[in-house]
Chains A and B, each alone.
Chain A
Amino acid sequence: MSVLVFIEQRDGKIRSVSREALGEAVRLAEKLSGPVVAVCAAAADPGVAALGEAGAERALLASDPRFALYDAEATVAVVAAAVEAVRPDVVLFAASAMGRDLAPRVAARLGLGLASDCTALAVEGGKLRATRPVFAGKALQTVGFVRTPALVSLRPKVFAPVSRTGRQANVEVLAGAWGDPSRAHVVRVAAAASGKADLTESEIIVSGGRGLKGPENFALLDQLAAALGATVGASRAVVDAGWRPHSDQVGQTGKTVSPKLYVAVGISGAIQHLAGMSSSRCIVAINKDPDAPIFKVADYGLVGDLFEVVPALTEAVQKLNAHV
């Protein structure tokens, strides 16, 4: 029983979420005793042979200039062709911007069930079970699949990649015409300001809320983030106030994040905010109100005025960095 993994690339670079998916494919393949096969659509080979190090035994490559930017309709055709060629039992995608768009289209094209944004997979009695947060993480739903292949997309930053140094995947060309020119055409990608990392892919996030009192005070968080190597996020209150862009919002109507460290500064911890960050590995709350609900989910809390605490914390982290 084989596992097919859709490999995302942008600008000729394979994205780390795809290595996470390959890692989970390796763990599944051990239980299902089958090979792990990667499939990638790219304008030119982004180096798929090296996916052997991430766990792929075979790599199918569809190369065509049209894959320079994301082309949804043609990519669906590539995945469908790979499913036809490999006949896998499971197809994994990352629940990234691309995977969230692509996987449901593939499911509809092939008439298959998709479990999206999963945080755990299990094999019970030879059958795949996928667990996914629902109600913004307030509950966990476990689903089974009526037919194979089972389609699954995986939440970024939840699944560990594997490392098999020196291994190479067998590269095979996946040939095809990939259909008519797409009627929805990505003309360009506008880069985010200052090349900021995406929240969903950050190891450490420092988020600010209304307690910051004004947009200018986010400079305090920028400094703390620089010391921690973190990305700055925000509550909805400050996004709606226009202090921060919507792409910074964490929560039910923003991003769902699972970093190893989440620092909530001047954020009360409304249920809709908790929805987006409660699967973080370690949560720190800094708030002057000891009764703020955020302390109920925080592993470590610091009660105090952020305007005093944050600069002191930045300094202490800088000192620590200088030592190690």
Chain B
Amino acid sequence: MIQVVCVKQVADTETRVKVAGDGKSLDPAGVTWILNPYDEFAVEQALRVKEKAGAGEVIVISMGGAGVATTLRNALAMGADRAIHLRSDTAADPLSVARALAAEIAALAPRLVWLGKQAVDDDAAQVGPMLAELLHVPAVTAIATFELEGEKATVEREIEGGREVVEVQLPALFTADKGLNEPRYASLKGIMAAKKKPIEEKPAVLGDPTLDVVSLALPPARSAGRIVGQGVDGVAELVRVLHEEAKVI
């Protein structure tokens, strides 16, 4: 069984955001790049499905600039079999990304397609459900559990005040929420093996964009607050300011 995992390279979550000279994008200077945290859950789940089946192939695919190869190596080191790098040096809107991924993935005819719930840079949470629509496969987004029996998956996704229990016939697409599993660390052996695994590079096929970015700006800094007191003695003052000043209680 072929499984495809879409992974994105993103700025580390500790990054202090600086706006680039174009006023629209992140200044990449000094940024550490990582595999999008939600995509680690996606890679892990695909590996578990393969390990349980005892056979199959896990293909990781990423669209982005030259640096993306390092992130693909990370996924290969976790245990993916091979990688596809859709080369594109310009940022793209979510639908364009989904279209480029769909064009490549359709030809692979996977039984399972995995993505992260959202990329922690653009925080769009769009590419997964868009890709499902473009590939005409059923999908469940932001899943918290996954069970596979034959050709039927049973998954749960968190909704406000509960969880939806969803049954899906393969082929299908899922996006992973945190808590789906505990992603493995790449072993030294895995890292060595990854160096020999193939990364196929090809140009991404991008259509017309659907959004145009007008600006990227830093949010207004929260005005510095104040310490209302120390220990139990400060409690009365805290309640007073919340009631009288902030009027929130």
Q: Report which A residues bind B (CB closer than 8 A).
A: 15, 69-70, 72-73, 76, 96-98, 100-105, 107-109, 111-117, 129, 132-147, 182-192, 195-198, 200-201, 204, 228, 246-247, 249, 252-254, 260-261, 271-272, 275, 278, 281-284, 290, 295-305, 308-309, 312-313, 316-317, 320
Q: Do B209 and A146 have beta carbons less than 8 Å apart?
A: yes
Query: What chain A residues lie within 8 Å of B130 (beta carbons)?
Result: 104-105, 107-108
Q: Decide yes or no whether B214 CB sits under 8 A from chain A.
A: yes
The 8 Å CB contact of B142, one of A100, A112, A201, A261, is A100
Bound CA span A184–B120, Å: 26
Residues 113-170 of B contacting A (Cβ, < 8 Å): 120-134, 137-142, 144, 156-169
CB distance from A121 to the nearest CB of B (A): 13
Contact check, A136 vs B120: say whether CB atoms are below 8 A apart.
yes
In the bound complex, CA of A137 to CA of B15 (Å): 12
By secondary structure, the B interface counts as mixed
Interchain CB contact (< 8 A) of B163 among A140, A184, A190, A305: A190
- Chain A: which residue is nearest B16 at the CB level? A138
**B238 to A284, Cβ gap below 8 A?**
yes
Residue in contact with B11 in the complex, picked from A69, A135, A187, A228, CB distance below 8 Å? A135
Q: When chains A and B are docked, how far (Å) is the Cα of A103 from the Cα of B229?
A: 46
CB <8 Å contact, B210 and A302: no
B residues adjacent to A (C-beta < 8 A): 11, 13-17, 19, 26, 37-38, 93-95, 98, 120-134, 137-142, 144, 156-169, 172, 177-179, 208-219, 222, 224-232, 234-236, 238-239, 241-243, 246, 248-249
Q: How far does the Cβ of A181 sit from chain B's closest Cβ, in whole Å?
A: 11
Which single residue of chain B is at the shortest CB-CB distance from A188? Answer: B165
Is the Cβ of A108 less than 8 Å from the Cβ of B133? yes
B242 in contact with A261 (CB, 8 Å): yes
Inter-chain contacts of A300 with B (CB < 8 A): 225-228, 238, 241-242, 246
Q: Could you tell me the dominant secondary structure of chain A's interface residues?
A: mixed
Identify B156's interface contact among A70, A104, A190, CB under 8 A: A190
Complex Cα spacing A141 to B215, Å: 6
Complex formed: what's the CA distance from A139 to B44 in Å? 30
- The docked-state distance in angstroms from the alpha carbon of A31 to that of B195 is 57
Inter-chain CA distance A184–B164, complex, in Å, is 11
Closest Cβ of chain A to B219, distance in Å, is: 5
The answer to whether A309 touches B235 (Cβ under 8 A) is yes
Contact partners of A197 in chain B: CB under 8 A:
161
**Judging by beta carbons under 8 Å apart, are A76 and B225 in contact?**
no
Question: Which residues of A have CB within 8 Å of B14?
Answer: 271
Q: Are B17 and A101 in contact (CB under 8 A)?
A: no
Of the residues A129, A139, A281, contact of B19 by C-beta under 8 Å? A139
Chain A residues with CB below 8 A from B167, complex form = 184-185, 187
CA distance A317 to B133 in the complex (A): 50
Contact A185 B125, CB 8 Å, known A100-B141, A302-B227: no
A134 touches B129 (CB 8 A): no
Question: What residues on B are CB-neighbors of A261 within 8 Å?
Answer: 242, 246, 248-249
Q: Which residues of B contact A301 (CB under 8 A)?
A: 225-228
- Note all chain A residues with C-beta closer than 8 A to B161: 191-192, 195-198
CA gap between A24 and B122 in the complex, in Å? 23
Determine how close the nearest CB of chain B comes to the CB of A308; give it in whole angstroms. 5
Residue pair B126, A142 in contact (C-beta under 8 Å): no
